[in-house]
């Protein structure tokens, strides 16, 4: 089953990516990562930089799964607000988790800024606005919790929003410390730099089975077999590949990208825009002056399969954009529909299987999957280096799901 349908923006920005061989012999290593998307490549890069022997296998090509459909927003705030997490897991753990996400965002920024390849990374602030006036009290509560816990956030009233944007909303939170990136280029660059640090990468190499064997596991692939101590499943929105059941909600989401705009002068500091409604609308700009709009999530796993149905949704996204920015008349250049996964408690599943030591899951489900992938990479690295990671217990795969 395909993970996306339509005309994607990112793959065309790197027309001739580096390709890696097909595995055709038997190998031995300490870690095998299954999946070469954002999750697998961030893990591979991080482990290789820490000197841990790792092989990454990808059944297609690096970044060709959901990573190509990702809209590239790097936001530490989650789909689930800090105050909602405080209600479900307690304020202390919720704040710890949000702070870990903020730190993971900063770690991605540092990696992206230090890369030899340009990955279209920019530091940005976010405007999280009340979709309707009735959302203002909840939004205010969120702001107060962020502010009280030391997050760099401001409260904007209606007039301040209207002074900086061509639209009026009853209130908004402005957060700093976010960013935007080209996720396809980033996954490619992570793989290239990981490879230079010793990461072995095999494309067109599918995991067929994982079975226990002396000293760990044997991963059988469409090429050779790999003997390993640890396996990391970074298989994206096909959780069945792990051989386990997950309380995942697999949906589909829509995105459009405009032609480059002559001017974006009434878009204050190119803020990342999103809102309190669920599902939410979100917008960003690109370094070549395009606008990306995403949203309209539907509770259906399979992406649409007809251009007509896709375009009907694209026109709805365009009309939302026009509603916010009436003076601009953009044309749609790219449009797609993609599978998108969430967990029922808003947390990703990252960490070791409690029954099968050495088997690890990297299911970075949620709107800020890239941030969750960074958390995962650091949790796995710390585990393999024998270091304590304070977030590991919050996102562990066998946690009780509290809504
Ligand atoms: C429309 C959309 C917009 C999004 N926007 C954002 C955003 O703005 N910011 C953000 O942080 N996140 C965003 N996300 C989420 C983000 O895309 C995902 O978290 C991330 O791309 C998932 O990466 P992944 O590596 O887990 O999955 P994938 O990119 O799908 O990678 C998994 C890989 O595993 C491979 N694989 C699977 N099974 C096997 C096997 N048996 N053997 C070998 N390989 C296998 C697949 O081929 C695939 O390449 C968005 C997602 C979507 C769909």
Q: What pLDDT, in 10s, does the model give residues 162-183?
A: 999 999 999 999 999 999 999 9
Q: Which of 3, 6, 37 to mutate to test the pocket of ligand 1 (most atoms within 8 A of CB)?
A: 37
- List, by residue range, all CATH 3.30.9.10 domains of the chain: 123-177+248-342
DSSP 269-303: GG-EEEESSSSPPEEEE-TTS-EEEEEEEES-SSP
3-state SS, one letter per residue, for 196-238: HCCCEEECCCCEEEEEEECCEEEEEECCCEEEEEEEEECCCCC
Residues counted in the chain: 403
The whole-angstrom distance between residue 267's C-alpha and the CA centroid of its chain comes to 24
For domain 123-177+248-342, give the fold: D-Amino Acid Oxidase; Chain A, domain 2 (3.30.9)
**pLDDT tens for each residue of 70-107:** 999 999 999 999 999 999 999 999 999 999 999 999 99
Q: What confidence score (pLDDT) does residue 305 get?
A: 85
- Find the mean pLDDT for residues 339-360: 95
For residues 257 and 94, what is the distance between their CA atoms, to the nearest angstrom?
A: 34
What is the Å distance from ligand 1's center to 197 Cα? 23
CB distance 318 to 327 below 8 Å: no
Ligand 1 atom 52 nearest Cα: 70
Contact 303, 288 (CB under 8 A): no
Q: How high is the pLDDT of residue 8?
A: 97
Please give the share of the chain, as a percent, with pLDDT higher than 90.
94
Question: For 261-290, b where at least 16 C-beta lie within 10 A, e where not — what string?
Answer: beeeeebbebbbbbbbeebbbbbbbbeeeb
Q: Contact, 53 vs 32, CB < 8 A?
A: no
Quote the CA–CA distance of 256 and 283 in Å, as a whole number: 10
| pLDDT digits 0-9 by tens, 219-276 | 999 999 999 999 999 999 999 999 999 989 999 999 999 999 999 999 999 999 999 9
Please state the rounded mean pLDDT for residues 354-367: 95
Cα of 234 vs centre of ligand 1, distance in Å, is 8
pLDDT digits (tens, 9 = 90+) for 277-300: 999 999 999 999 999 999 988 998
Q: How far is the CA of 68 from the centre of ligand 1 (A)?
A: 8
Ligand 1 midpoint to CA 329 (Å): 32
Residue nearest to atom 53 of ligand 1 (CA): 340
Instruction: Please name the fold of domain 4-13+20-70+184-246+345-384.
Output: FAD/NAD(P)-binding domain (3.50.50)
Largest pairwise CA distance in the chain: 67
Distance of CA 66 from the midpoint of ligand 1 (Å): 4
Nearest CA to ligand 1 atom 38: 235
Q: CA end-to-end span of the chain, whole Å?
A: 29
How far, CA to CA in Å, does 57 sit from each of 30, 110, 325, 361, 384? 14, 26, 44, 15, 19
Q: Which of 221, 204, 226 is nearest to 31 (CA)?
A: 226
pTM above 0.95, yes or no: yes
- Report residue 105: phi and psi, to 5°: -60, -45
Give the mutation target among 23, 39, 66 for probing the ligand 1 site: most ligand atoms within 8 A of CB: 66
Q: Distance from the CA of 2 to the center of ligand 1, in angstroms?
A: 12
Whole-number pLDDT of residue 403: 64
Which of 235, 314, 365, when mutated, tests ligand 1's pocket best, judged by the most ligand atoms within 8 Å of its CB?
235
Distance 238 CA to ligand 1 centre (A): 9
For ligand 1, what atom is nearest to the CA of residue 39?
A: 25
pLDDT-derived band at 118, boundaries 50, 70, 90: very high
Give me the pLDDT at residue 238, please: 95
Q: In angstroms, rounded to a whole number, what is the distance separating the alpha carbons of residues 103 and 319? A: 35
Cα 336 to Cα 351: distance, rounded to the nearest angstrom: 31
**Exposed/middle/buried for 327, CB within 10 Å: 0-12, 13-18, 19+?**
exposed
Residues whose beta carbon lies within 6 Å of some atom of ligand 1? 3, 34-40, 57-60, 64-67, 69-73, 206-207, 234-236, 238, 241, 253, 255, 294, 338, 340, 364, 367-371
* Ligand 1 center–CA 8 separation, angstroms: 14
Cα dihedral angle (394, 395, 401, 403), rounded to 10 degrees?
80
Angle at 73 between CA 296 and CA 293, to 5 degrees: 35
Residue nearest to atom 23 of ligand 1 (CA): 38
Tell me the pLDDT tens digit for each residue of 2-53: 899 999 999 999 989 999 999 999 999 999 999 999 999 999 999 999 999 9
Domain(s) labelled CATH 3.50.50.60 in the chain stretch across: 4-13+20-70+184-246+345-384
Report the alpha-carbon distance of residue 250 to residue 339 in Å, rounded.
7
59 CA from centroid of ligand 1 (Å):
13
Residue whose CA lies nearest to ligand 1 atom number 4: 70
């Amino acid at each position: 089953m395909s993970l996306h349908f339509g005309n994607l923006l990112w793959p065309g920005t790197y027309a001739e990516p580096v390709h890696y061989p097909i595995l055709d012999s038997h190998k031995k290593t300490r870690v095998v990562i299954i999946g070469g998307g954002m999750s697998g490549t961030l893990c591979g890069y991080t482990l290789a930089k820490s000197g841990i022997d790792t092989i990454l296998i990808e059944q297609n090509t690096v970044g060709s799964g959901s990573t190509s459909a990702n809209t590239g927003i790097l936001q530490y705030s989650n789909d689930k607000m800090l105050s909602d997490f405080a209600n479900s897991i307690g304020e202390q753990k919720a704040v710890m988790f949000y702070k870990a996400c903020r730190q993971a965002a900063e770690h991605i920024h540092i990696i992206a800024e230090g890369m030899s390849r340009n990955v279209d990374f920019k530091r940005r602030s976010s405007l999280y606005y009340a979709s309707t006036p009735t959302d203002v009290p909840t939004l205010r509560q969120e702001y107060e919790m962020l502010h009280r816990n030391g997050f760099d956030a401001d409260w904007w009233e209606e007039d301040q929003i209207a002074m900086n944007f061509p639209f009026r909303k009853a209130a908004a939170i402005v957060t700093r410390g976010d960013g935007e990136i080209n996720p396809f280029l980033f996954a490619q660059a992570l793989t290239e730099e990981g490879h230079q640090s010793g990461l072995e990468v095999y494309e067109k190499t599918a995991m067929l089975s994982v079975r226990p064997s002396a000293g760990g596991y044997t991963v059988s692939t469409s090429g050779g077999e790999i003997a390993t101590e640890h396996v990391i499943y970074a298989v994206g929105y096909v959780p069945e590949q792990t051989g386990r059941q997950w309380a995942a909600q697999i949906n589909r989401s829509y995105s459009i990208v405009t032609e480059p705009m002559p001017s974006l002068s009434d878009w204050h500091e190119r803020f990342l825009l999103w809102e309190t409604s669920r599902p939410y609308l979100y917008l960003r700009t690109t370094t070549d002056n395009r606008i990306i709009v995403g949203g309209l999530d539907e509770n259906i796993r399979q992406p649409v399969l007809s251009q007509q149905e896709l375009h009907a949704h694209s026109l709805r996204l365009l009309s939302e954009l026009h509603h916010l920015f009436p003076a601009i008349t953009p044309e749609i250049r790219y449009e797609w529909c993609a599978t998108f996964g969430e967990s029922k408690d808003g947390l990703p599943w990252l960490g070791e299987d409690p029954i099968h030591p050495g088997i690890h899951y990297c299911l970075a489900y949620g709107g800020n999957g890239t941030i969750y992938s960074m958390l995962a990479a650091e949790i796995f690295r710390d585990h393999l280096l024998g270091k304590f990671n304070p977030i590991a217990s919050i996102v562990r795969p066998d946690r009780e799901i509290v809504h």
